[in-house]
Chains A and B, each alone.
Chain A
Amino acid sequence: MNTVEARPAEVTPATEPPVFTVRDLSMRYGNSLALKDVNMDISPRRITAIIGPSGCGKSTLIRCFNRMNELIPGARVSGEILYHGQDIYGPGVDPVVVRRHIGMVFQRPNPFPKSIYDNVAFGAKINGYRGDMDELVERCLRRAALWDEVKSQLKKSALDLSGGQQQRLCIARAIAVEPDVILMDEPASALDPIATVRIEDLMQELKKDYSIIIVTHNMQQAARVSDETAFLYTEVDEATSHRWGILVEFGETSQIFTRPKDKRTEDYVSGRFG
């Protein structure tokens, strides 16, 4: 088994009540099961990594946390996700309000075709922010470690930035609506190694204020940045060859990578497949 280097980041102890409590979460697209019976607690101000082989439902799972799955026709969720004790799928809960509290950064940097300033201000504007917009934009860009690179060209199109800068801009845009949780769906998979390191450093910075859930297909990244790790795996129905994702193991990252309890986790983290 190959050893994974020790994480540079200090581990935040999980003592406070969880941000999310996931209970028996299953997810279907039409009639086909995509995710089955997931149970986990997400701790506040920690980084939780979701790892697993391709097609195991990592992105599906993270998109359940802010109800982004509903944008896909035919998607259905059962079970519950309690956010500070309240079910985000409960009756009368508006997904728009959920997403206002739970921000998201996507796999490919997706800035709007607007100026850098307008990108950051967008979320605040549509959510009725009445404060000093210039101040908010500067604060969020600073927080996303982008201010020094763009402060002289805030009116420039966001699409002229490099991929890594665009992704940090997307993080600035996400924190401008002052969310509580930031979901990151493979935020560095489209970036080069240097830009990746910057995003990872930024995550360490952000976890002081935000709870972060990150999907990654890169085990080293999960080991480097996260406090807790969830390992998802694909189950196959031999008769119909239908596949869905299950949560195999969830625990402290150091435990998952050095003393996995499940054989499948051990095979995966030791690089035997995936």
Chain B
Amino acid sequence: MPSLNTAASTHADRWTGARLQPGLALKDLRPSSRRVWRNRRNAILIGLATLLVLIPVGMILAYIVAKGFRYMNLEFLTHSEPFSDRKVSGGFLNGLVGTALMVGIASAVSIPLGVLGAVYLVEYGKKNWLAKLIRFFADVMTGVPSIFVGLFVYTALVVHYGFGALMGAAALAIIMMPIVVRSTEEMLKLVPQELKDASYGLGAAKWTTITKVIIPSALPGISTGVMLAIARAAGETAPLILTALGSLQLTAKLWNSPISALPLAILQGARNPFAAGQARAWAGALELIIIVLVLTVLARVISSRSRLTK
């Protein structure tokens, strides 16, 4: 490349590619072919990696939809399991009711407690030892395999009081709580100090500021975390085997009666040798995945309305 003057030449030589100079237009300057090639190669590699990640997700969805739709009908949604896996009839209403009951009770317990716990962490505990301890254990709890939670509830409650919806709900609540605490904490932390200052500046007490300003401002974000926790609980299988046990009967009894749940009914159908039972399991999987998808999309829609997370 010809240099403009000798003084600049040592400097200009370090650069590859042409510099703008008399006789050259901007459009004549091109990055080196090596840079162009590298850029393309890397863009293609990243695209491939993304595709690779999407393949299993897409296949699972496609497979479940294809297999599940065959048996998905009004009868499936409104009837419970037949007493024989051989029979081509009935559906997972017992599982749906059990899941709704147990996830409902677990949510009623874990969401208020979890949100209040997060309020403690952000507004009261901050960085004291108790807050650090709670954070640490919440993180550990999110990582604990859910079968351990089932085992814990089994030895602590089921051994004394028998299988039932309440025991299942207890296990699900334990799984949901740390998720609610940590996601709510992140959302509460996003509430700007200016907003809190505004409230305190108007003579609001701390609790008024929390209930009237901080929680309402963070609500869209909080509900996202809550929805994800509910979706997680709805799909849990392992802890329910040891606490709800599963049942063919449609029941809404809270204790002293084993109860079904969608994941349990799917497990039951999938591991039996008869085609009818397996078909029900596919339809159940479709039903469950639709519930989880709806909750996840709902969480996305709500959080996209949030002004804080924008």
Contacts and interface: CB of A to CB of B under 8 A. Distances in A.
Do these two chains interact? yes
A122 B213 CA distance: 10
Interface string B244-277: 0000000000000000000000000000000000
B217 A122 contact: no
A187 to B, nearest CB: 13
A174 B202 contact: yes
B201 A112 contact: no
A112 B194 contact: no
Contacts of A96: 203-205
Interface size class for chain A?
Answer: 20 to 34
Nearest to A72: B193
Contacts of B203: 96-97, 99-101, 123, 126-127, 177
Contact of B201 (A73, A104, A113): A104
A108 B194 CA distance: 8
A101 B203 CA distance: 8
B194 A99 contact: no
A113 B197 contact: no
Contact of A126 (B126, B194, B196, B204): B204
Contacts of B126: 73
A66 interface: yes
Contact of A110 (B195, B204, B212): B195
Given A112-B213, A126-B208, A106 B198 contact: yes
A110 B198 contact: yes
Contacts of A170: 198
Contacts of B308: 113
B307 interface: yes
Nearest to A66: B201
Interface string A104-139: 101010111110000000110011000000000000
A103 interface: yes
Nearest to B193: A71
Nearest to A125: B212
A106 B213 CA distance: 17
A173 interface: yes
Interface in A201-224: none
B63 interface: no
B200 interface: yes
Interface in B259-310: 307-308
B200 A68 contact: yes
Contacts of B204: 96, 123, 126
A170 B197 CA distance: 12
Contacts of B200: 68, 71, 99
A96 B201 CA distance: 8
A113 B217 contact: yes
A170 B216 CA distance: 19
Given A113-B217, A122-B212, A159-B307, A106 B195 contact: no
Given A113-B217, A126-B208, A68 B201 contact: yes
Interface in B193-240: 194-205, 208, 212-213, 216-217
Interface string A150-179: 000000000100000000001001100100
A174 B200 CA distance: 11
B217 A112 contact: yes
Nearest to A170: B198
A122 B201 contact: no
Interface string B177-196: 00000000000000010111
Nearest to B196: A71
Nearest to A70: B200
B310 to A, nearest CB: 11
Interface of B: 126, 192, 194-205, 208, 212-213, 216-217, 307-308
12 contacts: A71-B196, A71-B200, A96-B205, A99-B203, A100-B202, A104-B201, A108-B194, A110-B194, A112-B198, A113-B216, A127-B203, A170-B198
